[in-house]
Amino acid sequence: MLVAPAAFAQYWSMRALQFQDEDPARQSERRRLVVYSAASLKAHPEIEPVAPITAIKNRLRRTYDRASWQWLGEFVSEPYTYSISGYSNRGDEAIRVALENQLRQSLPPATRIDEVTWGNLAAAIRSGMIGSETVLMIAGGGYYRFMRNGDLHPLLIKDLELFAGLDCPLISFGAGVNFNIRPDQADRLVPTPAARSLLRRHLDQLSYCMVRDAFSQALLQECTSRTVASGADPVLFLEPRPTVAPPGSRLRVGLNTAFHGPNAASVLRQWLRALVDLIRSIRSRYDARFTYFVHCEAEYGIIRLLRDSGIDLEVVDLPAEALANAYAGVDVHICQMMHSSIMSARVGVPTLVVAYDRKHHSFFELIGQSRYCLSVEDATVTTLTSRFDELVASRAILQGEIVARVEQLRRAHQGQLRDVGKAIDAHLMCSAAV
C-alpha cells in the first residue's frame, strides 16, 4: 500500500539525505513506475506486408463498397478491409503522450517510467518488470469494459486475476467505463453479481483511483467502500495548447467518424447517409470548408466514400500531439470518436457527436454540453441540422462555456496529479530505502 499523506514530509527529507550522492542511473533503476495503457510511445515495428491473397480480397471488398455506395446508397464493409498496419487509434496514443508529460512534472526526475500495453501484463510479470519495488498504474482509456449482459469483458477479468497476485501498489488514473450502447440501453448498464465481486476485490486493492467521468465514478463506487475520485481524461489537458485561429470569411467545419471496431462500424452505417446529407446542407447554406481528422487508418474508407459523394475534404492525419493541436483550426466540429471530441473541447471548439458508447454521453455531461451528444436513433437529418445550426449561432457563447469548464477541470486534475505523484514517490523512496 502507499504511505499516508501525513508522512510525505518525512520522505522528502529521507530522499534528500539518501540519494544526494547516488548515481542518477542507479536512482532511475530503483525508482520505477510501470504505466499500463492501451498504446505505447515506443517506435512501432516495421509493418509486415499482408499476404497477397488478403490484399486481393481487400481490394475486391473496397471496390464492392464503392459500387454499393454509389449505386445503392449502402455501406456494407468492415474496418479490417481498410486497415494495412493493424489496429491504430490516435486517442490511445494521445493518452500516453499526455499522461507521460503530466507524470514527468509530478515525479522527481530520477523516476524511471516503463510502459506495458494492454494484453501484455502476464508477460511483464514473468519478465520481472513488475515487482514489489515498482508502482503499477492503469493509465487512462476505457479500461473497465462491460459486455451487454453486464459481465466484465473477458480480457479485463484476466487482468484482474493477475492484479490480485501482485504485491506492488496498484493505481488507476484517468480510466473509465466503456459500454457499447443500443437504442434501448444507453443508461442501463447493470453489472452482474460476478462483475461486482471482481470489481470490489480490484478496487479494494487500489492505492489510488481516479476515473474520467461521473458515470464511471458512480458505477465503480457502488462496488467498494474505498474512495473513487472523479476527474477527466488526461488528453483534455495535453500541453502546450495552441492558439485558436480567429474566425475567417468561411465557416471551418471539422469532421470525424468512428470505424475502428464492429460496434462503431454498425452505428456508423445507421447514420452515414444522414451525415452526407447534413454536410451537403452545410456546404450550400454556409459556404463551409471541411477538414477531416483521422483517428484510425480504417477511416480512409469513409473519406473515400465522402469524396465519392462530391464532398471536398482537407485530410489531417498526424501523430497524436500534432493532431490534437490541429483542432484549433476549425470553428465547429462533427464527430464520433471519443478523443476527437476531447481534442476539440481542449481548444474550446463547439462539437456535435453521435455516440456509439456510453462514454460519449459521460464526457459531454462532464463538460456541460449534453444537448450536443446524440444517440444514433436521434441522428436524423432534421435533428442533426437543427443542433448544428445551434452550434454555429451560439458558438462564441458555447466556446466560452467549454473553455471555462475545461479550466475548472484542469485545476482539479492538477491537484489529483500532485496527490498521486507524492504517493508514488513516497512508495518508491521507501522501497529504495529498504
**pLDDT over threshold 60, residue 100:** yes
Question: What pTM did the predictor assign?
Answer: 0.88
User: pLDDT tens across 13-65, in order?
Assistant: 344 334 444 454 444 455 789 999 997 655 444 445 567 777 777 778 777 77
Across the chain, mean pLDDT equals 86
d(CA 263, CA 78): 10
Over residues 121-140, the mean pLDDT reads: 92
Nearest to 266 by CA among 91, 79, 73, 82: 79
Three-state DSSP at 319 gives: coil
Inter-helix orientation angle 90-106/395-433, to 10° = 60
pLDDT of residue 21: 46
Report whether 292 contacts 327 (CB < 8 A).
no
User: pLDDT tens across 231-259, in order?
Assistant: 999 999 999 888 887 877 899 999 999 98
Among 190-199, 266-275, 387-396, 425-434, name the one with the lowest average pLDDT. Answer: 425-434
Dihedral pair phi/psi, residue 427, rounded to 5°: -65, -45
Sign of CA dihedral 285, 289, 293, 298: positive
User: pLDDT tens across 312-353, in order?
Assistant: 999 999 999 999 999 999 999 999 999 999 999 999 999 999
CA distances from 316 to 91, 236, 354 (A): 14, 19, 20
Structure confidence at residue 293 as a pLDDT band (50, 70, 90):
very high
pLDDT of residue 52: 75
Report whether 34 contacts 96 (CB < 8 A).
no
d(CA 161, CA 158): 5
User: pLDDT tens across 183-196, in order?
Assistant: 555 457 889 999 99
Q: Which of 80-89, 119-128, 242-251 has the highest mean pLDDT?
A: 119-128
Over residues 103-119, the mean pLDDT reads: 88
Residue that is written with C-alpha cell 477538414 in the block: 291
